[in-house]
Structure 1
Amino acid sequence: MSEPIETCLVVVTRTLEGRTHLALGEKLRGFGQGRMVVPGGKVDPGETPRRAAARELFEETSLRVNDADLDARGVVTFAFPDGGGVDMRVHVFVTDAAAGEPKDSDELLVTWVPVDALPTSRMWPDNVHWLPAALAGGFDEATFTYAADGATLASHTGI
C-alpha cells in the first residue's frame, strides 16, 4: 500500500428555519462523481491541512472562512487495499462561521441539507459513522476500508 494522499474535508453548518443544515455538494467529476459529498480536497505541498480546508471550501463553494474558524474534529484514513480508489488521510474540520452564500463550481452542485434529513443513500457509506461523530465534538482517528469495487465499506475502526 502506498502512502495515502493528504486531504481535507470541511463540514459547514448553518441554522436555517430553526434547523441545522450542512453544505453538501453533488460531485460533478472525478472520484465519487454523482455522490453527495462534504466539500474538500487535496492538501498542496507546503500547505497546512487547515489552510487547504479554507482554500478548498472557497474553490468548491465560494464560501469563505478564516483558518482560525475551522475546528479540527479528527483524522480519517480511507483505504482501498484491493484497488477501486486512492488511499487518503483526511483532516476533518467543522465550522459555523463560513461567510457568503454557496455557489456551484465545476466540482460541486452545492445545496444546504438538514442534518436530520441527510441523503445517506447518495453519500459514501462511511459518512453515517464519522459525520455524526464530527458534529458531536470529534474523534481522534478512524479508518474505513473499502472492498475491491471501491464503493462497498468492508470494515471500519475508531468510531
Structure 2
Amino acid sequence: MDTTAPSSDIPPKVLTLLMIVRGKGDSREILLGMKKKGFGAGYYNGFGGKVETGETIEEGAQRELREEAHVEALDMERRGVLRFIFDDNPQPWEVHVFHATEFSAEPLESEEMAPVWFPTANIPFDKMWADDVYWYPLFLGGKCFRGELFFTKTTTLVKHTVEEVPGPPFTWS
C-alpha cells in the first residue's frame, strides 16, 4: 500500500464525530454507539457522519447526534481532526472530532445506533476502529489533536500519526 498523502486534487469528504463524556475523575463515562447497519456496523463509535451541503461542520455534528441518539449537545467543542486515507477509496476523509459534557436528554436507540455508556477506564477498544486507541487518550485528556490514519482493505490500520496541537483551527495546509 502507498501510505503517502492522497492527491491534493481530490477534496476530502468532510465528516463529524461527537462524543459525550459525563462525570468526573474515576467515575467519568463516555457515550458510544454500537453501529447497527451501514459502514462500520458491529463497531462502537462516537456519533457522526457526513456534513451535508449547506451545513457547517458544527451543524452536521449536531444533526448526526440528534439522528443517531436523539439528543443535542449543549456545550460542544472541537477537539481534533483526523484524516483517513484508504487504499480502496481515492477520496480521503476529514473527520472533525467534538467533545461535549452537557446534553438535552437521555440518549435513545435509533435505527442506526444503540447508545451505551462506558467507564472511560474500560473503553471497548477491541470492538472499535483500530485508530481509536491512539487518539482517545488525547481526546479524554482534554487535548486538541490531529492525525493521519492509513488503512488497507478498509479496516486494517497500517500506519498512523497522531499529535497534540495547540488548539483550533485545525487545518491540513
1:88-107 alignment, distance < 5 Å? 88-107=93-112
1:29-108 alignment, distance < 5 Å? 29-66=37-74, 69-80=75-86, 82-83=87-88, 87-108=92-113
Residues of 1 paired with 2:140 and 2:39: CA distance? 25
8 Å contact 1:21–1:114 — kept in the other structure? yes
Q: CA deviation at 1:85?
A: 9.0
Determine if the alignment matches structure 1 residue 151 to structure 2 residue 159.
no
Determine if the alignment matches structure 1 residue 128 to structure 2 residue 133.
yes
For 1:158, give the aligned amino acid: V
CA radius of gyration, larger in: 2
Runs (4 or more) in structure 1 with deviation over 4 Å come to: none
Q: CA deviation at 1:140?
A: 4.0
SS at match of 2:129: coil
- C-alpha RMSD over aligned residues: 2.0
Residues of 1 paired with 2:91 and 2:133: CA distance? 21
Residues of 2 paired with 1:84 and 1:104: CA distance? 30
Q: What is the match of residue 23 of structure 1?
A: 31
Determine if the alignment matches structure 1 residue 117 to structure 2 residue 122.
yes
Structure 1 portions without partners, runs of 5+: none
- Count of residue correspondences: 155
Residues of 1 paired with 2:121 and 2:91: CA distance? 30
Q: CA deviation at 1:141?
A: 2.2
Q: Deviations over 1:101-142 (max 9, x none)?
A: 111001101111111001111000111111221222233421
Percent identity reads 34
Structure 2 portions without partners, runs of 5+: 1-5, 164-173
Could you tell me the TM-score, scaled by structure 1's length?
0.89
SS at match of 1:60: helix
Residues of 1 paired with 2:31 and 2:135: CA distance? 16
8 Å contact 1:85–1:150 — kept in the other structure? no
Residues of 2 paired with 1:64 and 1:85: CA distance? 33
